[in-house]
Amino acid sequence: MHKSVRQSMAWLHSWLGLSFGWLLFAIFLTGAVTYYRHEITMWMQPQFASMQVNQDTAVKKAYQYLQQHAADAQHWYIGVAHPAAPVNKIYWQTPDGHYEMKTLDASTGRELTLSATQGGDFFYNFHFQLYGMPYTIGRLMVTIAAFIMLITLISGIITHKKILTDFFTLRAFKGQRSYLDFHNVSSVIALPFFLTITFTGLAIFFYIILPSGMKKLYPEHPFQYFEDIQTVNGSAISTAPVKSNMLPVQHFTTTVQQHWGQTEFESITVKQPNTQLAQITFTELKDHSITRNQAQLTFNAATGKLLKNTRNDSAIATLNAGVYGLHMARFADPVLRLALFFSGLLGCAMIASGLLLWSLKRQMQKKSVRFHLGYYLVNRLNISMILGLPLAMLGYLYANRFVSIPAGAPNYEIYSFFIIWIGSFMLACLTPQQYLWKTQLKILMGAAFMLPLIDMYYLASQHDIDSFKSYWLFLRIDLMLWLLALLACFLHQNIHPIQQKAVRKIQTKLKTVQQGSSS
């Protein structure tokens, strides 16, 4: 029998959603928290709370350190301290080509030994390349998942011909209808966000899914594209570098402020320092444009002469930066960033409700009470992803408060993340169906509620906070954790009626089937 386009799209939407739903949920959840990855990193490095940043001092101290310890280096890079990251991170390339990195106190210039936590960067790396996998394979899997996400979004739009009507329909605690209504509502509310974030995610990694285009455009050097989008280099100078003193860094900061006004720096780069060819480049911290193309000024470090603009304003670089900027949303002000964060959570809700709807519909279509391995695994995978992943993320934060990670030691925070995630799946496999959700919801509720209290005790015992302003750096994360605890409590109290209604329908249907077969 010939199926209509809508029926075909419904089948495609359903099975692609199930096949990639668990991976997409993980990508969306880690992507949502990545909007606050710097805040998470600050939470996980509490010694930052008491650090005060004066950029003039920070630049001076970093410059002095490099002059003392890396005067003959080929290249310097200073990640200048600012309120969101109040330490100097400096890198230099030694004469033999190796790279060194140090973290410095922005006020004193002394070396700091910090915990080797990855902070919010762990979630960022997991989001786009699935931490622990070879990065090429991880990025390929994420790219395929994004492609499937785009297909499911388009097929979902085609399937729901009453998409606007469904948006205003939400029947709570009505069994299968509740999952469907919530799936529809969460899909429509943030649909522009889903389409934008999925398409830009695909576009960022176009070279993975369309390698033939790269070979066509750059037949002799496929990686030329990445050079074309980087900062423009100055004119090549054939003169050999000769030792020469550079002007004091204060001279350049004063000149830069004359051009930009009072502003903050993101980074300072020095090429061929302490030679007559030395070039120093200042990059502005704030950039509210989508293209993430901050202002730059480059000087000859020996003479102080202002050189040409090294920003890459070519069409290909602007397009690349625009796509990347839309996806990362670093231009967003606090209100917009919060809206994007909750849009990401709505994406998680959309995927979760779709997975649960698939599982419930298939259970209601069963015609016998026999054990079915496929349904069993789908239910357990749903639990270990929808509840297990947040539990694993909480475990990552718990490990930070209980274990200090010295440089070179195994990262027990990341180990905790994966151990708890696997443990969630094993617990789900051992839990009877009727207690499946409530068991892990109770664990999630307790863990999310207790962590802020443990955080308060830890901060007080370590004397890491001295005012409400410094405590706010931690309180904003703690408040989100309490919101998670409230959500888990709400679901724990209200998921039972939905499950009970669905169970009654399944039992009634099975009884009808059995009566029909016996007659």
DSSP string, 229-247: TSPPPPPP--SPP-B-PPP
Q: What's at 307, amino acid-wise? A: L
- The pLDDT profile of the chain, 519 residues, written as one tens digit per residue, is 456 777 777 788 888 888 899 999 999 999 999 999 989 998 998 888 777 888 989 999 999 999 999 889 999 999 999 888 889 999 999 888 889 899 898 888 888 887 778 889 999 999 999 988 888 899 999 999 999 999 999 988 888 766 666 655 555 555 556 667 777 888 888 899 999 999 999 999 888 888 887 788 888 777 777 777 776 655 555 577 788 889 999 999 999 888 888 888 899 999 999 988 899 999 888 776 787 777 788 999 988 888 876 677 778 888 888 898 899 988 888 999 999 999 999 999 999 988 988 887 766 666 555 667 888 899 999 999 999 999 999 999 999 999 887 766 778 899 999 999 999 999 999 998 888 889 999 999 999 999 999 999 888 887 767 677 778 888 999 999 999 999 999 888 877 666 666 666 655 655 665 555 555
Residue 58 to residue 104: CA distance in whole angstroms: 9
State whether residue 261 is helix, strand or coil.
Answer: coil
Element (H, E) at 92: strand 87-93
End-to-end CA separation in angstroms for the chain: 31
Domain ranges of the chain: 52-114+230-313, 366-519
Find residue 1's DSSP bridge partners. none
Q: Using DSSP, how many helices (H) and how many strands (E) does the chain show?
A: 19, 6
Q: Tell me the backbone φ, ψ of residue 280, rounded to 5 degrees.
A: -115, 130
Whose tokens are 């799946």? That residue is 425
Residue 82 to residue 106: CA distance in whole angstroms: 9
Query: At what angle are helices 121-129 and 5-34 packed, to 10 degrees?
Result: 150
DSSP, res 195? H
CB atoms within 10 A of CB 516: 9
Residue 202 to residue 193: CA distance in whole angstroms: 14
Residue 359 to residue 376: CA distance in whole angstroms: 9
